[in-house]
Chain A
Amino acid sequence: MLSIKNLHVSVGDKAILKGINLEIKAGEIHAIMGPNGSGKSTLSHVLSGKSGYTVTEGSVTYQGKDLVAMAPEIRAREGVFLAFQYPVEIPGVSNIYLLKAALNSIRKYHGLAEVDAMDFLMLVKHKVKLLEMDEKFLYRAVNEGFSGGEKKRNEILQMAILEPMLCIMDETDSGLDIDALKIVSQGVNSLRSPERSFVMVTHYQRLLDYIKPDVVHVLAHGQIVKSGGPELALELEEKGYNWLENQVAA
């Protein structure tokens, strides 16, 4: 699904990622943990194509294609979805309008006809229910005036409707209370399938109680310093990141 080889990324003159290697197979969930400033968000931004980052070395291959060469909207249409850490408010553009524009862009890209209006509404309403959201949200401007939890839920709603193949979740759990976390996790778990992969960037182990990862990676100083099973997350919760960061420094 996704193959990252020796990825080096800079912002301006500053090297942020210094040789990331990561293999994600279809159906797997990978958690990427690490302290602030370790490069977690940079990694998710680079994968989704945000400008301002320069890949200085290495490669990212997604389903056999060079991901770095694609425009952000092409990546999205190819099935890469970024759930934002800070979802953007878009006054004047309603949720439902954006959802339909997005879904139709994907369909057009894959040579399919536009989605039927009735089918679309049925689909959207079903997903809204799944995420325990109010239908009124659909007709409100994207994220405008939403609480932190509502914004995160809205990201998962978009994900549920667009059905991407590779879901990158950038600190989706940050700022969520336990009830919202359960709902969001439930939404994510309902999307799990043998074809779909997840990259969960997170600060907190708690998320992994609800969404069980296959592999946990620890990112520090722009490199993956340790990989392991779900038990690694528990170890991190107990010991913090310092012991790993020190390993790198040494």
Chain B
Amino acid sequence: MSSSANPYITEYASNASRLPGQNLPWLQQFRKQALEQFSIHGFPSPREEDWRYTNVSAIEKKLFAPALNAPSNNLDLLALQRYQLADAWSVVLINGHFCAELSQLQGLPEGVCVCSMAAALESPDSKTVEKYLGLAVTNTEHSFVAFNSAWFSDGVLVRVPEKLVLSKPIQILNIVTSAEIMATTRSVLIIEQQAQAQVLEMFISLDNVSDKTSDPTQAVGAGLAYLTATVSEVFIGQNAELTLYKAQAESEKAYHFGGVYVQQERDARFTHHNFAFGGLLARTDLHTDLGCAAECELNGLYLGAKRQHIDNHTRINHLQAHASSRQLYKGVLDDRARGVFQGRVLVAEQAQKTDSEMNNRNLLLSADAEVDTKPQLEIYADDVKCGHGLTVGQLDEKSVFYLQSRCVDEETARNMLTFAFANEMVDKVKLKTLHDVLLAQVLARFPQQGVDLEWL
């Protein structure tokens, strides 16, 4: 790739002065190195093994310009309410910038830090950021990380002090309201030893009020084309616990690149739920490093239709003994959609007694849909229990007929079965308010008449 043609390199200098942390030399250095790294490689190419199924060349053909600030005055507040959880502290980021008036942070316990990354860099908290930024993932990981390091305009810093159990979840609500922009955010989540927290990263798009549709069942902001590039670094201390949700319902023309990089110390427990519903091209990388006797559970659901391309990469590094990992990703692909799952589990030589299981199940609803699934186990220890399984299939015609023989029309029967397949992952979400938002989204994809939610 010729880097000179890449607008994200050529336009950087004229935008850099508007990025936060101008007076922090260490950050300037960090960004400079990141841009150099990005300049060398450009965006990932399908020639790279980790990107062979996902071609991102469409992004560099034009510049998605960084948004200058967060416009909140034109926002469709009713639509926003459907996504902002009532029982959570929430940080709202619009077009990649913190929006104080829409965020709800009252009543945070003493010692808990939840603030915008831009604000943190202007405060004594910048010391914390300096310590952790780039610690869970380096700019050489892949060039989207380098891209994010160079370009991030805001994000969230969360720190939960030791032994504190947060009573409510923290929601990081990323909203894009304009076409042709990029929303580039970088977050750092620190859960100190023996603390416990739930964090939800949500990505949606909302049109401005002026051109919103009056039909409330219509997805708002469905047609915006933009670029989301987000990286979160997560640190879970000894015997601490984090449930992290990612709910991605970007517009159907959007590009989404998200990286979640986790460090789990001894006995740390991490549960991740990854819902990938939106985007024309959406990719999430999820890595976790497991310390001694740490546990992780990774759940994922991707739903693709039309020409969506949804790619999920997970990597679990068993670095120490006695750790366990459980992974289940499910995908439903319709029309000409394409799904990619690459799951990699590495068991280091000293990681004896590792217990790992990885599963990927896919349902193809059309002859033109495609899934590329690649589970990889790399085991260097000799006393371990590692399993993996994958399935790619279609709806069972016997089941369709059974439902038809019970008066259900064929289309509803197919939707019932598909919904049931997907709902297993929604059902794992114990956070009721989030569960209901996700359930509504899945039901909208696979409508069934006369559904009684409490019986699902």
Contacts and interface: CB of A to CB of B under 8 A. Distances in A.
Given A90-B402, A92-B421, A73 B408 contact: yes
B423 interface: yes
A84 B404 CA distance: 13
A49 B405 contact: yes
Overall SS of chain B's interface:
helix
Contacts of A162: 406-407
Interface string A89-100: 011111011101
A104 B455 CA distance: 15
A50 B410 CA distance: 12
Contacts of B419: 92
A51 B401 contact: yes
Contacts of B412: 101
A75 B408 CA distance: 11
A158 B405 CA distance: 11
Nearest to B455: A97
Which interface residue of A82, A97, A109 has the most chain B CB atoms within 10 A? A97
Interface in A119-166: 139, 141, 158, 162
Given A92-B423, A92-B424, A104-B450, A98 B406 contact: yes
B408 A101 contact: yes
A94 B456 contact: yes
Given A101-B449, A104-B450, A158 B401 contact: no
Given A92-B423, A93-B420, A104-B449, A98 B403 contact: yes
Contact of B405 (A48, A91, A93, A101): A48
A71 B404 contact: yes
B162 to A, nearest CB: 40
Nearest to A117: B452
A234 to B, nearest CB: 32
Contacts of B424: 91-92
Interface in A17-51: 48-51
Contacts of B417: 90, 92-93
A105 interface: yes
B398 interface: yes
Contact of A72 (B404, B420, B423, B451): B404
A241 B401 CA distance: 32
Contact of A88 (B399, B407, B451): B399
A88 B400 CA distance: 10
Contacts of B416: 93, 101
Contacts of A109: 407
A67 interface: no
A87 interface: yes
A84 B402 contact: yes
Given A88-B402, A139-B455, A162-B406, 20 more contacts: A48-B405, A50-B401, A51-B401, A72-B404, A73-B405, A73-B408, A84-B405, A90-B399, A91-B424, A93-B416, A93-B417, A94-B455, A97-B451, A97-B455, A101-B408, A101-B416, A101-B449, A102-B408, A105-B408, A162-B407
14 contacts: A72-B404, A72-B405, A84-B402, A88-B402, A90-B402, A92-B417, A92-B419, A93-B417, A101-B448, A102-B408, A104-B450, A105-B409, A109-B407, A114-B450
Listed from nearest, the 8 A-B pairs whose CB atoms lie closest are: A92-B420, A105-B407, A72-B404, A88-B402, A76-B407, A102-B406, A102-B407, A73-B404
